[in-house]
Amino acid sequence: GRSRDKAAAFAGRVKDAAHPVDYHAFDITEGLPLQAIKPDMVIHTSGPFQQQGYAVARACIEYGCHYLDLADGRDFVAGIRILNDPARARGVSVISGASSVPCLSSAVIDHYKPEFSRLESLDYGITTAQQTNRGLATTAAILGYVGKPFRTLIGGRMRDIYGWQDIHAHDYPEFGRRLLGNCDIPDLDLLPDYYSDLKDIRFYAGTEIATLHFGLWLLSWAVRAGVVRSLKPAAKIFLKMARTCDGLGSGNSAFHMTMGGQDNTGRPKTKTLYILARDGHGPYIPCAPAIILTKRLLRNEMQHPGAYPCIGLVDLDSYMAALAGLNIRKLEM
């Protein structure tokens, strides 16, 4: 959780840093004391981002330091471009969505796109490990769209679908069958602009424990029918319930993406990539882009001032190299 004591304890455990590790506690809605801290860059991880503004990013631009966030809020990530002109004027990079989506998803697409003359469909998802350190902000973000309509590309047109519905099972290599449902992410707005041949984009997410996933699917119908306005206010209750089931699950999580279209001879082609994580190492995957980009920015290896989503900035090989030493591997099919 967000605790001054935990921050102090963590700072005390870091012994091999190039510079002394300090900690600060403040309310980001009341301003950032950047003049006192004097950072070279800020990595913003305090979600949920769905209802946040850009106060942190604006403060970084005004101070003159780089900014990254791990946002998964659809409007938040796509809207970061509104800060492009002031960020360019200050010579800083303001990057939103440095996480699994859209950074990893675009890295996978860019890696395999040369195998396609036309990339027309994406079907992909994330299944979480039950035994993971899930947080209240992430839980609230998910519950905020359960049963609510949002738009994705289907048959070449943006159409409404509903959060956590279209329930189905996906068979993951080595992990077995997991339930998945509709999930709202930045990619649904962003990817059609970057990959113009796309006609269908479907992204799903799911829990390891089928009972939890199925129960949330049932509740999504109550939201869709208007019986319940939103499940988000019950985030603490859902989080507590989920934690009571940890003994029934594992530390295994996975990402998959199936790409469809035409190969370079015009014939139908599909390609599927799995990234399999064991031992609770899955949460390291969304952290990798921020680590990679921070190193590049501070080494002046990346000269791209402005404000933009994290698409096409990290290639798949670099992404996987950043996860070396963890129980994470990729599998092509």
Q: Does the pLDDT at position 2 exceed 80?
A: no
In our burial notation (b when 16+ CB lie closer than 10 A, e otherwise), range 258-280 reads: bbbbeeeeeeebebbbbbbbbeb
Asked if residue 203 is part of any domain, the answer here is: yes
Asked if residue 224 and residue 93 are part of one domain, the reply reads no
325 belongs to a structural domain: no
pLDDT tens-place string over residues 189-246: 999 999 999 999 999 999 999 999 999 999 999 999 999 999 999 999 999 999 999 9
pLDDT band at 1 (very low <50, low <70, confident <90, very high): low
Q: Are residues 304 and 274 in the same domain?
A: no
Residues 72 and 104 both lie in one domain? no
Whole-number pLDDT of residue 74: 94
Q: What is the pTM of this model?
A: 0.95
Give the CATH number, domain containing residue 80.
Answer: 3.40.50.720
251 and 106 in a single domain? The answer is yes
Mark whether 77 and 120 lie in a shared domain.
no
Residues 170 and 275 reside in one and the same domain: yes
Residue 331 maps to a domain: no
In the chain, the percentage of residues whose pLDDT exceeds 90 is: 86
Q: Are residues 130 and 84 in the same domain?
A: no
The per-residue pLDDT for 100 is 97
Q: Are residues 167 and 270 in the same domain?
A: yes
How does pLDDT run across 114-134, given as a tens digit for each residue? Answer: 999 999 999 999 999 999 888
Q: Are residues 186 and 276 in the same domain?
A: yes
Where in the sequence is the domain holding 246, given as residue range(s)? Answer: 100-282
My answer on whether 113 and 238 are in the same domain is yes
62 occurs within a structural domain: yes
Quote the CA–CA distance of 277 and 295 in Å, as a whole number: 24
Is position 328 within any domain? Answer: no
Q: How far apart are CA 196 and CA 211, in angstroms?
A: 38
Residues 118 and 94 in one domain: no
Task: Spell out the residues 6+ positions from residue 141 whose beta carbon is closer than 8 angstroms to its own.
Answer: 47, 48, 49, 50, 72, 73
Do 94 and 132 reside in the same domain of the chain?
Answer: no
Contact in structure between 273 and 108 (CB atoms under 8 Å)? yes
Q: What is the pLDDT of residues 283-320, one digit of tens each?
A: 999 999 999 999 999 999 998 999 999 999 999 999 99
Does residue 323 lie in a domain region?
no
pLDDT (tens digit per residue) in 39-70: 999 999 988 788 889 999 999 999 999 999 99
Tell me what percent of the residues of the chain surpass a pLDDT of 70.
100
| Number of structural domains in the chain | 2
